Homo-oligomer: A and B are copies of this chain.
Amino acid sequence: MKRLVLFLISILIGASITWSQTIRKEIVLPHLQDYITLKCDFHMHTVFSDGNVWPTTRVEEAWAEGLDAISITDHLEYTPHKDYVPVNHEAPFDIARNLAKQRNLILIKGIEITKSMPPGHFNVLFVKEAIPIFNEDYKLALREAKNQGAFVIWNHPGWRAQAPDGPVWMKEHQELYEENLFQGVEVANFDEWYPEVLDWAIEKKLTVFSNSDIHEPMDMYLSANNLDRRPITLVFACESSEEGIREALFARRTAGWFNNYLFARKEILESLLFASIKVNKISGDEKSVSYKVENLTDFQFDFVLEHEPARKINLPVRSSTIITLPANRMDGILMVQNWLHGADIPLKTELTKLFR
């Protein structure tokens, strides 16, 4: 009997820690009326530049975290492991594509053009061939990217190593912009975000990105920082495919999701809000009315009523709260303090649009 119990115990120990990387934690977010919401990360590295993981690991990580699409964007100009790993700009995509297919994860071929500031670093998505883009002259490099039909992102404009005084829109960037050599910009990267760059993106009609730029294993970063989630770019696409993502990026239908902040154009934020929050009246008389306000999503909301700024309402994932309002104050304004469509412009909406 002792042996049997022990046998069962050893079975159970085994069972309890079975390798379960084949489990994917889904991220619950609403789709928009005409678009599906894809969770994407368009900036990451592997041993083929200065990253520390094998390309398939980037697929496993993204799939397990609930992402729908990634791009591996190893540096063209910076390959510090080359004494041990021969330079090969096609390798990351070639190695990872099969696993991505099995996992139903969209893998977009990318590379990072890596120049000093100005103009800094640029991610090239939907690359056809990496080598021709490798060029000492950054303008020629970006023109070749354009020739290949690529979508180009200006990366981390506020990275301290290149922008010690904060992000600066230099004449070089203006030239590239005027020639339409980049179409998007990272408002958030790794562990920081740049308020000014959100303003640029809105004003200059650049597509907003929030990317991880991860070099280490992702879980090492998440657990060391007690984070639930990497920086994510939400893409609102007509279909879940590489082509769907391409169309949405050029059409600027994205939002940056970083550490509970959401950055996007006002219309996008509004649509997401209405699809994320459910409000039911639960009681009321002529003096006051009580509503149950429910967050159906994995977003987390920091609400404030404009006429009562001290009353903060933090609504975590899939939770609800009860809000009681004077019967005559239904004309109030609700602010979502962590959803921004400008450096210091939180989303506002009339209560009456939500409470009905």
Task: Contact check, B102 vs A290: say whether CB atoms are below 8 A apart.
Answer: yes
Provided the pairs A84-B95, A294-B26, A321-B22 are in contact, do residues A220 and B217 lie with their beta carbons within 8 angstroms?
A: yes
Bound complex: CA A304 to CA B145 (Å) = 45
Task: Contact check, A13 vs B53: say whether CB atoms are below 8 A apart.
Answer: no
Bound complex: CA A229 to CA B261 (Å) = 28
Stretch at the interface among A3-11, A115-123, A178-186, A245-253: A3-11
A244 CB-CB contact with B under 8 Å: no
A25 CB-CB contact with B under 8 Å: yes
The interface centre, meaning the residue of A15, A24, A321 with most chain B CB atoms within 10 A of its CB, is A24
A57 CB-CB contact with B under 8 Å: yes
Task: Contact check, B14 vs A192: say whether CB atoms are below 8 A apart.
Answer: yes
Task: Contact check, A20 vs B220: say whether CB atoms are below 8 A apart.
Answer: no
Task: Contact check, A219 vs B227: say whether CB atoms are below 8 A apart.
Answer: no
A319 CB-CB contact with B under 8 Å: yes
Task: Contact check, B84 vs A26: say whether CB atoms are below 8 A apart.
Answer: no
A163 CB-CB contact with B under 8 Å: no
Binary flags per residue of A33-60, CB closer than 8 Å to B gives 1, else 0: 0000000000000011001111011001
CB-CB < 8 A to A86: which residues of B?
84, 86
Which A56-113 residues have a C-beta within 8 angstroms of B?
56-57, 60-61, 64, 81, 84-86, 88, 91, 95, 101-104
Chain A interface residue number, banded = 35 or more
Nearest B residue (CB) for A259: B13
- Selected from B10, B23, B84, B225, the residue in CB contact (under 8 A) with A17 is B225
A328 CB-CB contact with B under 8 Å: no
Task: Contact check, A54 vs B60: say whether CB atoms are below 8 A apart.
Answer: no
Task: Contact check, B2 vs A344: say whether CB atoms are below 8 A apart.
Answer: yes
A173 to chain B, nearest CB (A): 21
Bound complex: CA A10 to CA B261 (Å) = 11
CB-CB < 8 A to A195: which residues of B?
6-7, 10
CB-CB < 8 A to A84: which residues of B?
48, 85-86, 88, 91, 95
CB-CB < 8 A to A85: which residues of B?
47, 84-85
Task: Contact check, B26 vs A322: say whether CB atoms are below 8 A apart.
Answer: no
- Selected from B6, B17, B190, the residue in CB contact (under 8 A) with A259 is B17
CB-CB < 8 A to A315: which residues of B?
23
Task: Contact check, B192 vs A224: say whether CB atoms are below 8 A apart.
Answer: no
A238 CB-CB contact with B under 8 Å: no
CB-CB < 8 A to A220: which residues of B?
21, 57, 60-61, 64, 217-219
- Selected from B2, B103, B222, B312, the residue in CB contact (under 8 A) with A18 is B312
- Of the A-B pairs whose beta carbons lie under 8 Å apart in the complex, a sample of 28, sorted by A's number, is A2-B344, A6-B195, A6-B343, A6-B344, A7-B195, A13-B193, A14-B192, A17-B227, A18-B312, A19-B190, A19-B221, A21-B221, A22-B322, A23-B314, A23-B319, A25-B319, A47-B47, A48-B84, A51-B54, A53-B53, A53-B217, A84-B95, A86-B86, A219-B219, A219-B220, A219-B222, A219-B223, A222-B223
The 8 nearest A-B residue pairs measured at CB: A217-B217, A219-B219, A52-B54, A104-B282, A17-B191, A52-B57, A17-B225, A219-B220
